[in-house]
Structure 1
């Protein structure tokens, strides 16, 4: 495993992080979740990413249970707040009320005294940024989190958040965007500003929700997979599940074969090739799935390989910086 600094902080994270979105509490129950976490630890993964809203708060509880008995100082735990955790109007967003209640709920479910990075899961346009950052600062100063991070914030939001954090004596060290071979919207604006501010990326969906594993054909999907319909055909509502995209992904397979690695390994290694990336978050519903993705931490892609990837994907790559995901209202 490779370990990288998170932003300009002094903390290291594993280049591969295990996330439990859409797995723990949804498709994976506790015994299997614990197996996946223990497998990750055996492979050198020390960084774990979750959120209070995942699986209706169950994901945090399952991660906490899976890590019972593990030396707390030997792992880095990242969680998030913004999305609904209950039916009330204040059970969402980044108001002081919700943020302060959310960190306490997260710590209780994780069975921990602190998290290493507490993240704003999205930007809250209904709450003054000063209120949100003030609450985050109080959480850090109370010892309930070491650092703060954001997820899917625009350049302007990141810059304003980092400035307020500095004024309040805390560190905004990470940005958590979607980033993969097909989705590169952070490259034109977010990455340069983060480099300037000493912030690094912890990227979700390096496999484009499984598309870059190569398991989806141009017209069919494996039974039981995320984008399979009842007849085994493709659910084409997702932007990655279009025939022209899948045809281009097929052109990546020979590149991976020439390197002697699975396509999933190549895809994660591509994300890690960006020097502003500290970690790629991978998921696992079975422990053995981690074997291929962990290999990416040691796979160095040269300029020729990167050019071959760009040529193979062509114009299906999304690069528009305006498509950084955000929500104008709380959901």
Structure 2
């Protein structure tokens, strides 16, 4: 069946300017970190991506290592793009990254010029694209000079293989240094992608100030704390959930009784606002306009629909914000 995008796709979504650039991003973007790899069902991935686009999500975020196996998320997205979304390419912002392990030997990860540029070429082949809209350095390299990595990013823009560049998981100090280098090169930093949620607020310790001072946008990954800020773990760790699986970033040890008490209290507050816990969490992440976009993941279409519905109620009273702070700072909530 030939896909035709909904005529109403821009009626619900809110679009925020990315820093001081000319680019706007949807308040909620879709990340393909999980559930879009070679081990996942193609039709489910297609259904999620096309439904997201119908609901106004124009930004799709990838990385070279997303899968599993690594590279397969870009391949899946490339197939869906070719089959369904090619007529809408200019309505979309497609991003990818380089930084994590991709191939054996000394040139297969981190931030050398050789790795960064080779990785982007491979990503473009998997995606079937001539360029991506945003290309990120996925993580800072402790051994490669920052100047080398930034020169490589600058080259991707000058060669026409990326329109904008971004950083992910760089500290405030590293970001400040990168901004200065890129300003000297003449290719400004568009955006930073840090982890950020009610349970992970490290960017409030200086990074947000650096981004605001320099007119740089931000897109928060894991705004739902890998599912902890949903109804999934309110009553324990369900069998088959991500936390129940071995060797995952979300382990049982992180979902402590204290954390469960906090998320149950937050869930009660969400209910009083007529929202799910996930919707409350996304609204909180976007509060105050400091975050350009919240980057969600999904395993089914209904999750995308639920998350976008958060945009119908993003305002907080002062009492609600104070209640959230109390919940997050109190060790024991009954």
1:162 aligns with 2:162: no
- Residue 298 of structure 1: CA displacement? 3.2
- Residue 263 of structure 1: CA displacement? 1.0
Counterpart of 1:314 in structure 2 is: 329
Determine if contact 1:251/1:313 at 8 Å carries over to the other structure.
no
Determine if contact 1:207/1:268 at 8 Å carries over to the other structure.
yes
Determine if contact 1:34/1:67 at 8 Å carries over to the other structure.
no
Richer in helix (by share): 2
Counterpart of 1:222 in structure 2 is: 238
Distance 1:277 1:36 in 2: 24
Counterpart of 1:16 in structure 2 is: 28
Distance 2:220 2:208 in 1: 12
Distance 1:47 1:157 in 2: 26
- Residue 235 of structure 1: CA displacement? 4.9
Greater CA deviation, 46-55 or 301-310? 301-310
Bigger relative contact order, structure 1 or 2 (CA pairs below 8 A, ≥6 apart): 1
1:108 to 125, 130, 135: 125
Distance 1:26 1:310 in 2: 41
Counterpart of 1:137 in structure 2 is: 154
Normalised TM-score (structure 2)? 0.89
Runs of 4+ in 1 over 4 A off after TM superposition: none
RMSD of aligned residue pairs (Cα, Å) = 1.6
Structure 2 stretches lacking a partner, 5+ long: 1-12
Aligned ranges 1:1-331 → 2 under 5 Å: 1-25=13-37, 28-55=40-67, 56-68=70-82, 69-70=84-85, 71-218=88-235, 220-228=236-244, 235-237=251-253, 239=254, 241-302=255-316, 303-315=318-330
Determine if contact 1:83/1:121 at 8 Å carries over to the other structure.
yes
- CA distance change for structure 1 residues 290 and 75 in 2, over 3 Å: closer, same or farther? same
Determine if contact 1:227/1:235 at 8 Å carries over to the other structure.
yes
Q: Give SS of 1:186's match.
A: helix
Q: Give SS of 2:45's match.
A: helix
- Residue 29 of structure 1: CA displacement? 2.3
Counterpart of 2:9 in structure 1 is: none
Distance 1:145 1:229 in 2: 36
- Residue 27 of structure 1: CA displacement? 5.9
- Residue 98 of structure 1: CA displacement? 0.5
1:142-181 Cα shifts (integer Å, max 9, x gaps): 1111111111101111011111111111120111111001
Determine if contact 2:223/2:296 at 8 Å carries over to the other structure.
yes
Distance 1:48 1:157 in 2: 26
Determine if contact 1:269/1:300 at 8 Å carries over to the other structure.
yes
Distance 1:308 1:60 in 2: 41
